[in-house]
């Protein structure tokens, strides 16, 4: 290939629009709560500019053992491929239930915006909501603070 052609291709490539890096919510948190404290709600104030081509992720992991619930939340940038929200029941009771929620998006800034446990706990508010083991709890939501990663 001739040097002139290489320079022309390089010039064209430099003129093409770049994929703009996304800004994602950033935070992690863990809380052990009583079932009666569910559902939980959080506010994320930290943000992260991702590497070019990376997406935003939301991950929730909820483990219910008897009267206690352990919640782990993670938000930030990821190189993983986009996927719609997924709720997976890894283990069903009695005695212990484990449910996770994952979502990866690139459609807009701050698209990893899940603010509560409803994807893994229940969506029936203000009526009674049910957890992964069927334990009942009443709304309103209780607050959890996410830490910066």
**CA–CA distance, 81 with 54 (Å, rounded to integer):** 8
In this predicted model, which residue has the larger pLDDT, 12 or 90? 90
Confidence of residue 46 (pLDDT cuts 50, 70, 90): very high
| pLDDT for position 128 | 37
What are the tokens at 135? 């334990």
| pLDDT for position 18 | 58
**CA–CA distance, 96 with 93 (Å, rounded to integer):** 5
Contact status, residue 85 vs residue 105, Cβ threshold 8 Å: no
Chain Cα centroid distance, residue 122: 16
Residue 99 has pLDDT above 80, yes or no: yes
Q: What is the mean pLDDT of residues 92-110?
A: 91
**CA–CA distance, 63 with 97 (Å, rounded to integer):** 6
Residue 29 has pLDDT above 90, yes or no: yes
**Structure pTM?**
0.71
| pLDDT for position 10 | 61
Q: What is the mean pLDDT of residues 66-90?
A: 94
Confidence of residue 144 (pLDDT cuts 50, 70, 90): very low
Residue 58 has pLDDT above 70, yes or no: yes
């Amino acid at each position: 290939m001739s040097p002139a052609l290489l320079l022309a291709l390089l010039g064209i490539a430099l003129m093409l629009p770049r994929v703009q890096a996304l800004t994602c919510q950033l935070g992690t948190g863990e809380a052990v709560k009583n079932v009666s404290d569910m559902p939980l709600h959080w506010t994320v104030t930290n943000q992260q500019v991702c590497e070019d081509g990376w997406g935003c992720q939301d991950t929730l992991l909820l483990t219910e053992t008897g009267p206690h619930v352990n919640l782990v939340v993670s938000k930030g940038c990821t190189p993983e491929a986009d996927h719609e929200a997924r709720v997976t029941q890894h283990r069903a009771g009695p005695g212990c239930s484990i449910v996770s929620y994952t979502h990866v998006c690139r459609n807009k800034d701050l698209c990893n915006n899940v603010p509560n446990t409803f994807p893994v706990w229940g969506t029936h508010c203000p009526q009674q909501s049910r957890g992964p083991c069927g334990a009942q709890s009443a709304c309103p939501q209780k607050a959890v603070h996410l830490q910066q990663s």
